[in-house]
């Protein structure tokens, strides 16, 4: 039986160029990156914390790292991660994640933006940093992320993220800001489907979709292919009923010139919520490449919010992303990748039935547990 070759963290980061000049290289780049990865898995949320972790774990780290000049200072970590090319780091991250987890057919991939609230710098008039992430909702896996350009918005960042992902067979969900012809085209080019929120800023398309649903409801959907699904939730003093309605074979009615790639259906969600004796009704519309299947449509819409309730919540509560003051050069984007590595690897470890925060605490205390987390990611130390 042929043994599987040993893989180290260094192997996954081979594509990263060392940004330092030779005379300043007191520490090996792979040592710096390995300590940072281990430290963030264990709960470090800044450069001083990473240095502190390194000093506390020096004897253990020395068993598999060279550390020719000891543990780097927090200033060294800050300078190096501010200079590392974020596209190279992102590419290495994507390659690593693809090697340990395959996305399943029909996986809902939610794409959404998040603001790092404490990353603004009033003294230099730098606004808060925004990141756009892709989240595999079933596998609970971060697939990738990009930083939103300071002079732009998510509309330009989403295409850049889509270009580096492998989405074949997936259903991509995006809120209304992603309702753009170019974004839809990039998704379908990868043999993926989409479910995207439609808002009134789409003008004619929104009005035509609204009219089509009103007409269909009024005529009992004569000569219109349709599918329905109902979901109900009760709890915490709230009762909500959601009616999902999907109309298909509508391209000739709404997009005869095929401006929107594979616009096969439109969806409507009517939510009737009763909370504290008050009833509210909300109606939302969606465009989609899916064929008429209201239950699959409902699953896609509901799973989209997994990126808020799972990934963003974990990043804020467990990894304290909203409190981060890291903002120099490429450092915010690169530290975001470190956080995503931690989320993915800790989520993959299933033996310990604890939340991410407690898993971090255990990894910080128990080197054997951290080793297990890394081994599940097919890393040998």
Question: pLDDT tens digit string along 115-136?
Answer: 776 655 655 556 677 888 898 8
pLDDT given for residue 258 in this prediction: 87
- The CA angle 287-289-290, to the nearest 5 degrees, is 105
pLDDT given for residue 238 in this prediction: 81
Asked whether the beta carbons of 133 and 319 are under 8 A apart, the reply is no
Q: What would the pLDDT profile of 325-379 be if each residue is shown by its tens digit?
A: 787 888 888 998 899 999 999 988 888 888 899 999 999 999 999 999 998 776 6
User: Most confidently modeled of 38-47, 144-153, 235-244?
Assistant: 38-47
Q: Would you state the structure tokens that stand for residue 367, as one six-digit string?
A: 């080197």
Q: What would the pLDDT profile of 3-17 be if each residue is shown by its tens digit?
A: 455 677 778 888 899
Q: What is the mean pLDDT of residues 192-216?
A: 90
Q: What would the pLDDT profile of 134-154 be if each residue is shown by its tens digit?
A: 988 888 888 888 877 765 677
Cα(268)–Cα(171) distance, integer angstroms: 17
pLDDT above 80 (res 221): yes
The pTM of the full predicted model, rounded to 2 decimals, is: 0.86
Cα(157)–Cα(149) distance, integer angstroms: 7
Task: Give 163-167 contacts, CB < 8 A, sequence gap 24+.
Answer: 164/90, 164/91, 164/94, 165/94, 165/109, 165/134, 165/190, 166/98, 166/103, 166/190, 167/103, 167/109, 167/191, 167/192
Cα(322)–Cα(124) distance, integer angstroms: 19
Q: Would you state the structure tokens that stand for residue 351, as one six-digit string?
A: 């033996």
Spacing of C-alpha 148 from chain mean position: 14
Q: Would you state the structure tokens that stand for residue 243, as one six-digit string?
A: 């009616």
Cα(12)–Cα(150) distance, integer angstroms: 29
The closest of 22, 138, 142, 27 to 81, measured between CA atoms, is 27
Q: Would you state the structure tokens that stand for residue 148, as one six-digit string?
A: 């939103």
In Å, the largest CA–CA distance within the chain is 78
Cα(114)–Cα(126) distance, integer angstroms: 17
Q: What is the mean pLDDT of residues 80-108?
A: 85
Q: What is the mean pLDDT of the chain?
A: 87
Q: What would the pLDDT profile of 242-295 be if each residue is shown by its tens digit?
A: 999 999 988 888 988 889 999 999 999 999 988 877 899 999 999 999 987 899
Asked whether the beta carbons of 145 and 344 are under 8 A apart, the reply is no
Which region among 19-28, 58-67, 97-106, 371-380 has the lowest average model confidence (pLDDT)?
A: 97-106
Spacing of C-alpha 189 from chain mean position: 20
pLDDT given for residue 224 in this prediction: 86
């Amino acid at each position: 039986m042929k043994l599987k070759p040993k893989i180290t963290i260094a192997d996954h980061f081979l594509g990263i160029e060392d940004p330092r000049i030779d005379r300043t290289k007191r520490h090996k780049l792979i040592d710096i990156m390995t300590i940072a990865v281990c430290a963030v898995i264990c709960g470090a949320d800044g450069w001083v914390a990473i240095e502190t972790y390194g000093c506390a774990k020096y004897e253990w780290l020395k068993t598999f790292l060279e550390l020719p000049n000891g543990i780097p200072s927090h200033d060294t970590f800050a300078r190096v991660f501010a200079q590392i090319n974020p596209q190279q780091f992102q590419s290495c991250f994507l390659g690593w994640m693809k090697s340990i987890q395959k996305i399943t057919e029909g996986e809902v991939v939610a794409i959404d933006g998040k603001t790092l609230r404490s990353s603004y710098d009033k003294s230099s008039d730098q606004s808060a940093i925004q990141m756009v992430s892709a989240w595999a909702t079933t596998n609970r896996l971060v697939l990738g992320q990009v930083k939103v350009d300071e002079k732009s918005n998510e509309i330009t960042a989403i295409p850049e993220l889509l270009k580096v992902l492998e989405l074949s067979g997936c259903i991509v969900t995006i809120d209304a800001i992603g309702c753009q012809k170019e974004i839809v085209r990039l998704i379908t080019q990868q043999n993926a489907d989409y479910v995207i929120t439609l808002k009134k800023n789409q003008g004619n398309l929104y009005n035509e979709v609204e009219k089509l649903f009103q007409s269909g409801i009024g005529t009992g959907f004569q000569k219109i292919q349709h599918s329905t699904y109902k979901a109900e939730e009760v709890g915490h003093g709230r009762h909500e009923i959601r009616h999902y309605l999907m109309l298909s074979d509508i391209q000739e009615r709404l997009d005869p010139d095929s401006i929107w790639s594979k616009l096969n259906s439109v969806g409507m969600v009517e939510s009737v919520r009763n909370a504290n004796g008050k009833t509210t009704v909300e109606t939302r519309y969606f465009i989609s490449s899916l064929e008429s299947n209201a239950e699959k449509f409902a699953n896609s819409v509901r799973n989209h919010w997994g990126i808020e309730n799972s990934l963003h919540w974990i990043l804020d509560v467990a990894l304290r992303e909203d409190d981060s003051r890291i903002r120099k050069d490429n450092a915010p984007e690169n530290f975001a990748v470190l956080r995503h590595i931690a989320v993915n690897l800790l989520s993959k470890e299933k033996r310990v039935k604890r939340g991410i925060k407690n898993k971090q605490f255990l990894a910080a205390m128990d080197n054997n547990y951290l080793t297990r987390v890394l081994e599940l990611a097919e890393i040998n130390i």
